[in-house]
Amino acid sequence: MALSDREITKVALAIQNQLAALRLRQYTRLNDEIARVTTSLSELQVVRSKLSHCSRRQWHAAAKSLVDQTQRILAYLPHSATDAKWALEGFRTDLPSLREIYEELRQTEEEFGELKFNRETHDIAVVTDPIELEGMFLGDFEIQLHVASICEARLQSALSIVALDPHPAASNNRVTHPHVNDEQLCAGDGRTVIQAALSSGRICDFFTLVRSVLTNYNQDSPFIPLSDWDGTVCSDCGYTMPDDDVHGCFVCGRQFCEDCIDYCRRCDENVCRGCTEDCPVCEETFCPDCMTECPKCHRRICKACLEDNLCLCVEENKETSDESADEQPTGDGESASRITAGDGAGREGSERPEAAHSEGVEAAQAGLEA
């Protein structure tokens, strides 16, 4: 559906205001670049005056210092002049009139068949035909121009590329086109030309140039090459692999490349490294289904080791029992007689003080009676 004259005029007026604001920014930038050039020239004038004074007085050391300063200023001056020259590029064309912008919008509508208009933001957009690059179907895209951001002179702010029928790269679903990542266009060498078309109000050229980037594949600067577009991404290392090289883990169901998949040593099923378990007895790798729990120590071991009664706790219990038996007393007659003799001596020694005490008490009583 074609936009009404009133809507087209409203969009054209908004674009004209943004281009006027952009021109003011361009004036400011040019003024700053000129200021850098004039500062360098002023410094050269001061150095020239001092150098003349040093020559007359034959101050060689001071003159040498001024020569070094001159070299530094002259080395910086060409860069300032180049930046000022680039700042002049924005003034190659005059600001377009409202009528010229209106005609650009109508031409854009005719070129793309429809010009979308957001009445709240005044953004405009066109839709490309379905795009296929080197046999890879990518679908159609909506090229959005954010009118309120034209004055920022940044293509990333003013432009968005939205996939309407997304066929993203297997390794990154935000890359919907080899030159589009997170709805941002990498225009490569075409960036300067696209920005120039927008800054001069050539709206139809702007959309046409962006479409040209989308319909052509630059193999030197893709976010993801078309050769790596399809396939399956390894859940471990992130490598995009052909479908014939995919190995699925039967435990978690994720897909892995040949270098990241393992297998169970008992049932030979493919198992990823995150799902495998190591048996502490035989030190082999198994899937969870081929592992079991020892009923005594409750450790996880493989079923083969438990069936052969090879759990470590069996050997440990046996060693503990053998050590306990070695530490028991021998029980021979000599040791028993020593213990008996020792007990008798102890009892005899303990009875003698009591007998002596009784005899002393009796003697004391006899003395008192006498």
DSSP string for 244-301: GG-EE-TTT--EE-TTTEEE-TTT--EEETTT-EE-TTT--EE-GGGEEE-TTT--EE
Judge contact between 160 and 124, C-beta under 8 A: no
Q: Identify whether the C-beta of residue 137 lies closer than 8 Å to the C-beta of residue 177.
A: no
Residue 190, number of CB atoms within 10 A of its CB: 17
Provide the CATH number for the domain formed by 98-228 in this structure.
3.10.110
Predicted local distance difference test score (pLDDT) of residue 354: 47
Domain positions in the chain are 5-90, 98-228, 243-325
Q: Two tokens at 133? A: 């690059």
What pLDDT is stored for residue 323 in this prediction?
58
Give 234's contacts (C-beta < 8 A, 6+ positions apart).
240, 241, 255, 256, 257, 260
User: Which of the residues in the chain have pLDDT under 70?
Assistant: 1, 243, 308-310, 314-370
Q: What is the pLDDT of residue 170?
A: 84
pLDDT at 362: 53
Total residues belonging to the chain? 370
Q: What is the pLDDT of residue 338?
A: 47
Residues 6+ apart with CB under 8 A from 288: 251, 275, 277
Predicted pLDDT at 2? 79
Helix (H) or strand (E) holding 43, with range, is helix 5-57
Check: CB of residue 51 under 8 Å from CB of residue 63: yes
Cα dist from 128 to 113, 142, 146, 212, 222, whole Å: 10, 6, 17, 10, 20
Note whether 272 and 263 are within 8 A (CB).
no
Q: What does the alpha-carbon distance between residue 211 and residue 112 come to, in Å, rounded to a whole number?
A: 10
Measured between its terminal Cα atoms, the distance across the chain in Å is 150
pLDDT, tens digit (0-9, with 9 covering 90-100), for 215-271 = 999 988 899 999 888 877 788 887 777 767 788 898 998 888 888 889 898 899 999
**Quick one: pLDDT at residue 241?**
73
Structure tokens at 292: 């079991």
Q: What pLDDT was estimated at residue 33?
A: 93
Q: Provide CB contacts within 8 A for 144, sequence distance 6+.
A: 123, 124, 125, 159, 160, 161, 162
pLDDT value of position 174: 94
pTM: 0.63
What distance in Å separates the CA atoms of residue 145 and residue 366, rounded to the nearest whole number?
A: 134
